[in-house]
Structure 1
Amino acid sequence: MPIDEMDEELVANGVSAATGAVLPQPDPAAVERLIRGEGSASLTVVDNRIKKARTVTVDGVELESFGIDHTLDPEDLAQAGWGVIFAADIGDDVKRALAPLLEKRKAQAGKHYHAFEDVRPDDDAVAWLGRQGYKPGLDIVDPEKGVPYYLLIVGSPASIPMSFQYVLDTYWAVGRIFFPACDDYAQYARSVVAYEEAERPPQYVKRAVLFAPEHAFDAATRMFTRDVAKPFLDEGGARPLGRRQKFHVQPLIGDDATKEKLVTALRGGGDDGKAAPALLFSGGHGMAFDRGHELQVEHQGALVCQDWKPGHPVQPTDYFSASDVKDMNLSGMIHFMFACYGGGWEMYDTFRDENGRAPQIADAPRIARLPQAMLAHPEGGALAVVAHVDRAWSYSFRTASGGIQTTGMREVLDLILMGRRVGNALDRFNLKWAVLSAPLADAMRDFERGTTSAQQLAKLWIARDDARNYVVIGDPAVRLRVENMRPSV
């Protein structure tokens, strides 16, 4: 079966700024190149490094986990530990700027607090773990071995690659921060510490916002609204999002998902005055700019709002970017963002082919500016942003065979609304990508024997990497103080 007969349900959630067209499906030649193992390691991390998941129980909730020793509570930093990994090019000024957060976590983690500064330019996660005493590398986390469960990477993707974070995050709870200015690090550290030490959080009512534009003749937004947004809000269903946690979820869907209404929701307007919602869950297109475009660094990954008219070039008034994060206090908010490039991007596009090679799409790998701006907002920064690096595909909520599968996404959101630490909550996606590595390895062997088609292999590859590429931008140990919030009526 030819690769170009890709499932019509496989869509990307991104829009080209130049053309106003939705980003295309994977280039068949690119898939063939990856299958041959040329120019990418995307297909090489398979089941030989993946151990069996275990079931652990925390506060009566049974959870599968690849992570920490089941005799330890992953929500207790004194047991789980917390560490920071500094890239080699991070200076002392940044370390001083982060001092309030580092001291806070050191006091909480005690003997299981560690600061690492030994990441080498050619390191992968397994090699780095081996030097810390983890051999062969990936294994159940035991903080007594010297590597805590929660790890905050401080550095750009050019200094510590995203692949390092992806693999380490299979077992550990990993986050990353990187900002353009030293003051941004200081602001983020102050915001997190202020939120955790305040007498009560700014959100004294449990409120969340679900933001989902829906454009006519646009498969990606219609699919997300149909399969995720509306079912999550189904008041007649068994599990509307937030009900068990007593959260009110404000819907901004379709015609209500305008830029103006999103800004208003982030500036407050609920019973808690000017406070941002505790959770912003957004699903839609992310902006995509050509390499060298003057707006790529600042606006790539920005949220396309209902204001955009499909087929027309996208204007800055049609999307919510870092430039729009102003006159609002985002303290105490976690943003879960489903959009292409919402978390960042690599230098090369592995889903396209130019003369047998992946084309270069950026001058350097980067963290997107929108989450950076949210975390370092001078009036109060968000706690964390969960977002996708590179293109985000419909496999985030659909199976490779086209069935609806939203359980993983819902459980991540449920755990965040329960007050779980965000890095631990995201373990659901780590479980998914690790589990998908096993059938991918089988499919690769079957492809060599001629019993699996290139189309089937491509679907498994994209589904696996789609789950892998969700990252925490921010401290993975942050959590919502739900115990100090009043249930919403």
Structure 2
Amino acid sequence: MDAAASVKWRDQVYRAEDVPQEERPRYLLLLGDLHHISIEFQHVLAHSAFVGRLHCARPSGSPELAGYTAYAHKVLASETSAETPEAPDVLLYTAQDGSAATTLGHQLLMEPCRDVMEKQWKPKHPAMRLQPLPYDNAGSEGLLRAASEARSGVMLSITHGLGQPKRGWASVEEQRAMQGALKIAAGQCLTGDALRSTPFLPGGMWFCVACFGAATPPRSAFQAWLELLAREQAYAGRPEAVLKSIPKSGERPFLAALPQALLANPQGPLAIIGHSDLAWTYGYVEPTDVYRSRASRITSALEVLANGSRAGVALDALMRFYRDVNESLMADYQARQEALTFGQPDPVEPRSLGHRWMLRNDLRGYILLGDPAARLALRRTPA
């Protein structure tokens, strides 16, 4: 289903008038890859319910039922665990690769998040262990060690996700195996094959900021707005470059191999929030001032997870900011239509419009992989 068909299904099936409200599920888990159930369907439903997706596949792309079984056992084991900590471990990791994107991400997302966690979270949860991982060229060893030892951990990471290399992909199979893998240091990547059985954030939750970290869509949501910003001399890159890593005609969109492997890994996380397109800094900065942090958009989701609430609720905390900017854009549409009707000048400044659409689409690109009802195994106070 495309977006229009997804909206129709939501309105006529999910919100059918003859379904009593108490029988309409709030937590929806989609099973399958993006050619089974479209990314548009997931985006549309994510604003009506708490929605996640699970797909476990072999390198050929065929479903791996053992992965689904392992994931189900992992979630049940977490829910029934007798040994639970009072508060989670919180891991913060930025890959230092010298790029402007990760450097800016560390300054405007990671450092403000750490500050909030130390000053606001720890006084409420003294047992919480905050672990900022070394921001250096140490490679993956420190990350893998900390992630394997975390107890009911929540992790925020900022890295580059692999897109198409300069030589191109050798095959479609190579693209599906490698695109969205995380670049840690020169020559080092975290891939699905590397973490298929390695302990990594067992029973935890991961917020992964990286291009294609969750999925590669059939088309990018950003090119049209980059074209507008380029005309307004507010973007110096080539807008058409966003198409380089998007599937070509006849090829299908796909979920990244890394989160698939980790969710099927019995010693992996319960849920992963990642990006289903190119990831930008727009998601955590002021849209018209790239040096003004809006890290609270991300910390709002992380706090939901760290408090032991469910993964779908955490994504919805982020989507509240999407709905805010969407409302702003609808106000622009109203103002433009009124100006057109009454023969008045267009009141909407193009550069501001382009930046806010980039913000809107960047936030919308984050999706949840895993059960939206999953939560950390934490000691809970009886109601």
TM-score strictly above 0.5: yes
Cα distance, 1:384 vs structure 2: 0.5
For 1:315-464, list aligned pairs within 5 A: 315=187, 318-325=188-195, 326-328=197-199, 330-352=201-223, 359=243, 361-362=246-247, 363-377=251-265, 379-402=266-289, 403-444=292-333, 446=336, 449-464=345-360
Using the size of structure 1 for normalisation, the TM-score is: 0.63
Using the size of structure 2 for normalisation, the TM-score is: 0.80
Cα distance, 1:481 vs structure 2: 2.0
How far apart, CA to CA, are the structure 2 residues paired with 1:122 and 1:223? Answer: 33
How far apart, CA to CA, are the structure 2 residues paired with 1:282 and 1:224? Answer: 10
Distance 1:243 1:366, change over 3 A: farther
- Give the length in aligned residue pairs: 342
How far apart, CA to CA, are the structure 2 residues paired with 1:170 and 1:236? Answer: 28
Distance 1:460 1:257, change over 3 A: farther
Cα distance, 1:147 vs structure 2: 2.2
Name the one with the larger helix percent.
Answer: 2
Specify the alignment match of 1:190 in structure 2: 73
Specify the alignment match of 2:61 in structure 1: none
CA contact (8 A) 1:301 1:370 kept: yes
Specify the code of the residue in structure 1 equivalent to 2:363: A
Cα distance, 1:192 vs structure 2: 0.8
Q: Does residue 1:223 correspond to 2:104, yes or no?
A: yes
Distance 1:355 1:212, change over 3 A: closer
Q: Does residue 1:299 correspond to 2:178, yes or no?
A: yes
How far apart, CA to CA, are the structure 1 residues paired with 2:117 and 2:77? Answer: 39
CA contact (8 A) 1:437 1:464 kept: yes
Cα distance, 1:231 vs structure 2: 2.6
Specify the code of the residue in structure 2 equivalent to 1:192: V
Distance 1:374 1:456, change over 3 A: same
Cα distance, 1:358 vs structure 2: 8.1
Distance 1:236 1:198, change over 3 A: closer
Q: Structure 2: which 5+ residue stretches go unaligned?
A: 58-63, 228-237
Deviations along 1:373-415, one digit per CA (max 9) or x if unpaired, are 11001x4332100111101111111121213211121111111
How far apart, CA to CA, are the structure 1 residues paired with 2:191 and 2:326? Answer: 34
Distance 1:292 1:420, change over 3 A: same
CA contact (8 A) 2:52 2:372 kept: yes
Distance 1:173 1:128, change over 3 A: same
Cα distance, 1:474 vs structure 2: 0.3
RMSD over aligned CA atoms reads 3.1
Cα distance, 1:142 vs structure 2: 7.6
Which contiguous aligned blocks of 4+ residues in structure 1 show a shift greater than 6 angstroms? Answer: 120-123, 353-358
Specify the alignment match of 1:155 in structure 2: 32
CA contact (8 A) 1:242 1:417 kept: no
Cα distance, 1:253 vs structure 2: 3.9
Distance 1:122 1:327, change over 3 A: closer
CA contact (8 A) 1:215 1:254 kept: no
How far apart, CA to CA, are the structure 1 residues paired with 2:302 and 2:239? Answer: 42
Distance 1:235 1:450, change over 3 A: closer
- Aligned identity (percent) is 26
Deviations along 1:429-461, one digit per CA (max 9) or x if unpaired, are 211111211221333453975333432221111
Q: Structure 1: which 5+ residue stretches go unaligned?
A: 1-119, 269-274, 309-314
Specify the alignment match of 2:90 in structure 1: 208
The secondary structure found in structure 2 opposite 1:152 is: strand
Specify the alignment match of 2:124 in structure 1: 244
Specify the code of the residue in structure 1 equivalent to 2:38: P
CA contact (8 A) 1:340 1:391 kept: yes
How far apart, CA to CA, are the structure 2 residues paired with 1:474 and 1:421? Answer: 11
